[in-house]
Amino acid sequence: MARASVDNPDYYINREISWLQFNRRVLEEAQDENNPLLERLKFLSISANNLDEFFEVRLAGLVQQIEDGYTEAGPDGLTLTEERDLISEEVHKFIAEQYQCWNEQLRPQLSEKGIRVLGLNELDENARAFVEDYCDRELDLLLTPVTVDPAHPFPRVINKALCVAFLLRRRRRSSLTYTGVVTVPRALPRLVRLPSEGTVDFIFLADLVSFHAARMYNGYDIISSAAFRVTRNSNLYLEEEESRNVLDSVRTELHNRRKGDAVRLEIDADTDPEISERLRTNFGLEPWQVFRVDGPVNLPRLFNIYEQTDRPDLKYKPYVPRELRLTAKSQDLFEELRRHDILLHHPFDSFDAVVSFIEAAAEDANVLSIKQTLYRTSENSMIVKALIAAAAKKEVTAVVELKARFDEASNIRWARDLEDAGVQVFHGLVGLKTHCKLALLVRRDPDGVSRRYAHLGTGNYNSTTARIYTDLSLLTADPEMTGAVHDVFAFLTAYSEHSSYAPLTVSPINLAENCLDLIARETEHAQSGRPARIIAKMNALLDKNIIAALYRASQAGVQIDLIIRGMCALRPGVRGVSNNIRVRSIVGRFLEHSRIFYFANGGEDSIYISSAGMKFSMLIWRIR
């Protein structure tokens, strides 16, 4: 029987719909009554934060492409307008489910546990007195009421700023109505903790702004009011080839990001239609981009309840990771690595071992140089502090990726601090994103020999996320491995290309080609009757060439198990195409971030770990 073609659009899932399906799995964690109640609230907040980024980046890019006249269909055969319409339908359904979860499940159940989010009409005398005092002391000082008229244009509403709109009528000119806008101060918490006995009570800050509207708009009658929030296009549009300095280009675009084109308007469900239409027109949005929500328009901020509520009985039990212990024969980590490699599985193995590796290098007089990539790091990064301290005594080089989405501003600050301390800072390669996670040390050991030591990770150098992301770290002194890491740094700092980076595979040089070769090798093993199997764990699977290769491997009889947290364009279980492929997604307490690839290879199995998935980002290396 002839094999089915792997080019049929029906065999490919739309990437954006696949992402929405992933985020629905996050929401399911909020709906799952087996999870602790406050953890469910956190998952709801995460699903809303994820959706913010989806609008800011993915949907904003799609709308931009439509406006620019792109017509080419994707692997799934959908045109951009068809894709937009499908996404609109799915997103509206999803948001309705989010608010149903909040209104019908989480809010009532939290109230039963003594954690209440109150409206103004639910405040007792003490709470109302507190609110009056809070507004006088904190809130009113920061409010700037605006009335839109010929002399006062509509204020520039920055990305995701919570605002309150008012429909106003002058008392002396009763026939005219005006739009009033007040931005809710970002300096204040979105949920204000109220004094209470026996319960933990909150009120939304936006409700307090509406409550004090009469004081702000003297001489007006307030016909109606509505909280709203605008999401803007947050993509960075860099002209790197024409830029003299990548840092300046990123910094300039960051300033523009807060003012990008609007892509979504969230507004109270019971808003006066006149307010809603005035806002929609002002922001240049189509009707499908307006989302009337039955509850707080700022769902991500519900995370504040989780943070401010000390109820261990409603949260996961604290997890204590395992600390790295050296063998009795080793005096320090370097001596241990000369004997054998160390593979760590975070967060089950503590990330402190990686921090200690860099800190020991900074303090050790025998370490001559340190090279480090930084993609995302924590606010008070001990690794960055170690690099700064080391710069006074040895050669330190850092490759700081300025285009790590939504971490650009903090990475610019880190780059400046490192440069001021004497670290040689590079900003990666023009047109490429430096996604690999590498550290390389050169040390003169007690035997007088200078050796390289390296860390290779699937995750970021971020001690905070390392406690909640599953990732792998490889610490090694293997000469072949560390020599290849040295060559990768030469590529990053000088664009110096080598014919081979074995045992590493590097994108964009040979990662795509090598991944396809590995899949083809399994296909050949299956056709020859030898052991053939693929198990791959990654964040996303989107590349059409990789998916087509997996389909062909399945048709040849290769058993394939894919563990994909997020987007997956591959459609499993299609008879004659992918009936040997199974896809799972794990969403739970820890964010599945590690990338691991297993190939049976005819009985001589090989395993790779990577800072990239099979969508091609930067680096993959063999550990067996």
Phi-psi region of 600 (alpha: psi -120 to 50; beta: other; left: phi over 0): alpha
Which residues are within 8 A (CB) of 317 and not within 5 positions of it... i.e. 6 or more apart? none
Distances in Å between the alpha carbon of 31 and those of 14, 297, 303, 414? 25, 19, 16, 39
Rounded to 5°, the CA angle 561-592-377 comes to 140
Q: Is 198 exposed, middle or buried (0-12, 13-18, 19+ CB in 10 A)?
A: exposed
* 3-class secondary-structure state, position 337: helix
- CA atoms 287, 288, 291, 292: torsion sign: positive
Write out the DSSP string of 536-570: EEES-B--HHHHHHHHHHHHTT-EEEEEESS-B-B
* Cα–Cα distance measured from residue 181 to residue 155, given in angstroms and rounded to the nearest whole number: 8
* Cα–Cα distance measured from residue 79 to residue 99, given in angstroms and rounded to the nearest whole number: 31
* Cα–Cα distance measured from residue 615 to residue 592, given in angstroms and rounded to the nearest whole number: 16
Sheet holding 191-194, edge to edge: 115-118, 200-204, 191-194
Supply 236's token pair. 């960075």
- CA atoms 321, 374, 412, 383: torsion sign: positive
Closest to 604 (Cα-Cα) out of 513, 525, 514: 525
Phi-psi region of 602 (alpha: psi -120 to 50; beta: other; left: phi over 0): left
At residue 350, φ and ψ (nearest 5 deg) are -65, 140
* 3-class secondary-structure state, position 437: strand
Closest to 570 (Cα-Cα) out of 557, 583, 579, 560: 583
Give yes or no: 427 in active site.
no
The amino acid that residue 143 corresponds to is L
Q: Is 24 exposed, middle or buried (0-12, 13-18, 19+ CB in 10 A)?
A: middle
* Cα–Cα distance measured from residue 564 to residue 66, given in angstroms and rounded to the nearest whole number: 29
At residue 101, φ and ψ (nearest 5 deg) are -60, -45
The answer to whether 228 and 265 have CB atoms below 8 angstroms apart is yes
Phi-psi region of 87 (alpha: psi -120 to 50; beta: other; left: phi over 0): alpha
Residue of 427, 435, 455, 525 marked catalytic: 435
Distances in Å between the alpha carbon of 295 and those of 177, 211, 227, 231? 26, 17, 10, 17
User: How many separate helices (H) and strands (E) can be counted in the chain?
Assistant: 18, 24
The answer to whether 613 and 540 have CB atoms below 8 angstroms apart is yes
Residue with the two structure tokens 């399906």:
21
Kindly list the catalytic residues: 435
